[in-house]
Structure 1
Amino acid sequence: MTIETRAHDAQALWQKDKDHFIHPFTDFSTFHEEGCDLITDSDGIYVQDAKGNRFIDGIAGLWCVNVGHGRREIGEAMADQATRMAYFSTFNNLSNAPAAELSARLAELAPAHLNHVFYSCGGSTANDATIRLVHYYFNRLGKPAKKRIISRNNAYHGTTYLAATLTGIASNNWDFDTLDHLVTHLSEANCYRRPEGMTEADYCDHLVREFEDTVAEIGADNIAAFIAEPIMGAGGVLVAPTDYHKRMQAVCRANDILYIADEVVTGFGRLGHFFASEAVYETQPDIINCAKGLSSGYAPLGATLISDTLYDVLSTPQGPGGVLSTGFTYSGHPVSCAAALKNIEIIEREGICENVREVGPYLEERLASLSHHATVGDVRGSHFMMCLENVADKQTKALFPVEARVGDRVAFEAQQRGLIIRPVGHLNIVSPPLIWTRETVDRVVDILDAALTATTATLKADGYL
């Protein structure tokens, strides 16, 4: 293909995309004029756009391509399954081999009491289905008043109707309706912006006390569950104070409230373990939700892992002919499950969790070195889940005005230098494939260093500094 032909095709694709594809989270203030960058090829830690430009993938697609791009053996596993049997119903008394095998593997990998799997198509639907099952569980126990779900400000749990209500990022729901009577949001655990003079231990006490006071106000008999990401993802990669999750679980246990861990992002190696809840945070959730890294993004798939205690109730028929009347056409889709099985095999065979535990602290250390930049207020996260918070004033932690688009500026400068990172308002998120090496980390930090220097210059030129 000639350069001229490739440029023509890239322009045609760009136009078709702009004219017809409604993207998730589209910024329509720029989209009508600028459209989108089209990513057309990928391999390992790299992606390539329609114009032939090559970039280091710093966001793993979207928190999800954990084993890296272009894994031929995952594609072959999917093709083999698709040509043997691409799809058949899993309703009622029907199933398929990949779904059965994957269910058993997930039960092996999860904390010991989570032995049952309900499949969906992604993170939003996993969280949505979970709340429906939780409500059903308490209805079956004769506790129909236990409906309220406790979430947190700046939590991200998805964009289906109920999952969007669980989500505590205010801008996500501007002019969208939500089911606010079902969900109450607590404060997020934001150590960087905790009250001045408050130690981390005091801050943890403060957050737990807020939960206890909320339970007392609403009434434990009206609360079904508390849902939390082990580390908040899209809400700013917020790492809670030490023992926060253990203590929040203790409040749940004392009040007959289910503890739901949303591990859509943290699952399958991002923090160095298949699941972070027990291995990292010493909690035993009643439910763990996962997606993204479950298949490394090679096929849409979500899963809700359910405890034996809940399953004993969910699996009891309401009466003769009673069925668990919820699910999706694509629950346990055989091609998606085949992709997930091969993905898990690769993670184990190649020691990818071990790589994260070895390289992750180095990534944390090297990113922390960027704190010398005048605009970098905080560098936070854990292992392969990191964030830079950009501020106008380090002393006061004041933010730039929204119109400065500081996160977009940093991301643009990084992309100009061959690295894709994610801008979220004033934040920049780094959540790479889990196969990065120390050498990759060094290259990435060099790029970010130059990008931040360039961003400071443009902010000064535009009068923001």
Structure 2
Amino acid sequence: MTHFSANSPHARDIASVLHPQTHAGRHQELGPTIMTGADGIFVRDDAGNVFLDAGAGLWCASLGYNSERLAKVAYDAMRTLGYYQIFRHASHGPAIDLSEKLLELAPVPMSKVLLQCSGSEANDTAVKLVWYYWHAQGKPEKRKIFSRRGSYHGSTCVTISLTAKPDYHAGFGLPFDGFLHTDCPNYYRDALPGETEEAFSQRLADTLEAQIMAEDPETVAAFWCDPVQGGAGALPPPRGYFQKIQAVLKKYDVLMVADEVICGFGRTGAMWGCETYGMQPDMISCAKALSAAMQPVSAVLLNERIYQAVVRQSDKYGAFIHGYTYAGHPVCTSVALETLRIYEEMDLIDHIKSVEPVFLRELGALTDHPLVGDFSGVGLIGGLELVRDKATKENWPGEVGLGARIDQHARANGLILRIVGNRIAFSPPLIITAEEVRELARRMRATLDAVYAEVSAL
């Protein structure tokens, strides 16, 4: 076991902190990486090591890791109105201004904004709104919700049920009944020999239709989807996918909810992933880049169809009984609103479009490496698919610990990666420059070379 002095941050962390997504016992031996500062897209730890973060933290640090401008906005907001709630007809300027701005930016016509505190809360709330809507239509039996295998939609009990990753359910007695999962649209892995992307998309849409029919369409309430599937390793959809899926949803009157928590605010090269892929959702959840991760804030955008159901249910029950203490917090909404102003001033979408070709070219070039079978991406999000054999697409066996080896060598090369199963997901801060993308790719290739030298000798 590694020994730390009793008063060091490492020892105090081990003694007091339970870390999410962390092996609890191993953490007692290894201790934490203590981050102490940042400069743009780079972070540094207490040993002086500097890392290029290729994942923007948890997909969220869109403007990097420090901002004097946003810090001042938060300070001024806290001095003016450090807290107030938006329950029971109460409101304040930042909540109103942010809601109006989100409706202005929405990719399809939306009616209202329901402010929340996290992406998980936004998706959890949207599930409640789906059920609320169908109750208002006199169809409470329309309750089942489909999401896609490999998806991630949050960590509450409901949103982890939407999340179609069995390891996230193990030991918790989850998922809840009524949360159903359809195909992950991984063309590289799952297409039939000679099958085009359009044909693959049609096959997945046909499968979804068959599943809806098997469940009875009068029991199916909604379909949940992120434009680029983050939980599957930054996986863009194949050609024609959402058009074919939406045709099925429309046929059976199934609501579509777009989880834009990762993709919203520029990540795909448009303000919303819905714009990139021609999606027409009934609701949109967003978070992360909404405040550049500088404050915990999220939102659900709902169309008029959903809103009118809320009005009817308010008449029936006396109020819309839902809310969180910190939802619409004046400091958080002030920072989010200023973040959106920064995006406009820096011409964020034009910047992303200018860097996108370099991002796709430099990371796509890594497909010549023996460990890489494929790369797919859009905007400033994409993933490398790892293989043992390029011809058969065989995976490395689990006992090799390929992901752990890649993570170790990446950190030795000053690179923080997000490894998701057989994919390495890239979603760097949106301020990344073309030269920084080249540096990212250089460090990635050095990492792959070091790992391949190890595993090829096994």
**TM-score (normalizing by structure 2):** 0.96
Gaps of 5+ in 2: none
1:75 match: 71
1:290 match: 286
Q: Is the 8 A contact 2:233 2:419 kept in 1?
A: no
Query: 2:14 is aligned with what amino acid?
Result: K
Match of 2:285, SS state, is strand
1:276 match: 273
- Structure 1 residues 9 and 432, CA gap change in structure 2 (3 angstroms): farther
Query: 2:357 is aligned with what amino acid?
Result: P
**More deviation in 314-323 or 356-365?**
314-323
Using the aligned pairs only, state the percent identity.
Answer: 35
Q: CA deviation at 1:388?
A: 1.6
1:403 match: 399
Q: Are 1:22 and 2:18 matched, yes or no? A: yes
Q: Are 1:341 and 2:337 matched, yes or no? A: yes
Q: Is the 8 A contact 1:66 1:435 kept in 2?
A: yes
Aligned residue among 128, 149, 158 for 1:132: 128
1:111 match: 107
Q: Are 1:362 and 2:358 matched, yes or no? A: yes
Query: 1:234 is aligned with what amino acid?
Result: G
Q: Is the 8 A contact 1:379 1:387 kept in 2?
A: yes
Aligned residue among 298, 301, 306 for 2:297: 301
Aligned residue among 215, 218, 222 for 2:219: 222
Query: 2:303 is aligned with what amino acid?
Result: S
Query: 2:238 is aligned with what amino acid?
Result: P
Q: Is the 8 A contact 2:265 2:272 kept in 1?
A: yes
Q: Please, what is the CA RMSD of the aligned residues?
A: 1.8
Q: Is the 8 A contact 1:406 1:425 kept in 2?
A: no
- Pairs aligned (count): 455
Q: Is the 8 A contact 1:410 1:428 kept in 2?
A: no
Q: Are 1:203 and 2:219 matched, yes or no? A: no
Q: CA deviation at 1:175?
A: 1.5
**More deviation in 301-310 or 237-246?**
237-246
Q: Deviations over 1:278-337 (max 9, x none)?
A: x21112110011111111100111111100121112123543771000111111111111
- Structure 1 residues 165 and 33, CA gap change in structure 2 (3 angstroms): same
For residues 242 and 11 of structure 1, the distance between their equivalents in structure 2, rounded to whole angstroms, comes to 55
Q: Is the 8 A contact 1:405 1:425 kept in 2?
A: no
Residue pairs, 1:168-183, within 5 angstroms: 168-183=164-179
Aligned residue among 433, 439, 442 for 2:438: 442
Q: Deviations over 1:86-120 (max 9, x none)?
A: 11121111011111100000000002411311121
Q: Is the 8 A contact 1:408 1:425 kept in 2?
A: no
Q: Post-superposition, which runs of at least 4 consecutive aligned residues in structure 1 deviate over 4 A?
A: 8-11
Q: Is the 8 A contact 1:225 1:258 kept in 2?
A: yes
Q: CA deviation at 1:209?
A: 0.2
For residues 145 and 162 of structure 1, the distance between their equivalents in structure 2, rounded to whole angstroms, comes to 18
For residues 278 and 173 of structure 2, the distance between their equivalents in structure 1, rounded to whole angstroms, comes to 36
For residues 10 and 352 of structure 1, the distance between their equivalents in structure 2, rounded to whole angstroms, comes to 46
Gaps of 5+ in 1: 1-7
Query: 1:78 is aligned with what amino acid?
Result: A
For residues 112 and 379 of structure 1, the distance between their equivalents in structure 2, rounded to whole angstroms, comes to 30
**TM-score (normalizing by structure 1):** 0.94
Q: Deviations over 1:176-216 (max 9, x none)?
A: 22243221100110011124312222211110000111111
For residues 429 and 6 of structure 2, the distance between their equivalents in structure 1, rounded to whole angstroms, comes to 26
Residue pairs, 1:81-100, within 5 angstroms: 81-100=77-96
2:246 match: 249
Query: 1:262 is aligned with what amino acid?
Result: D
- Structure 1 residues 29 and 245, CA gap change in structure 2 (3 angstroms): farther
Match of 1:359, SS state, is helix
Q: Deviations over 1:133-154 (max 9, x none)?
A: 1101110111111100011110
Aligned residue among 199, 209, 212 for 2:209: 212
Query: 1:245 is aligned with what amino acid?
Result: F
For residues 405 and 339 of structure 2, the distance between their equivalents in structure 1, rounded to whole angstroms, comes to 35
- Structure 1 residues 325 and 125, CA gap change in structure 2 (3 angstroms): same
Q: Are 1:237 and 2:237 matched, yes or no? A: no
For residues 166 and 314 of structure 1, the distance between their equivalents in structure 2, rounded to whole angstroms, comes to 23
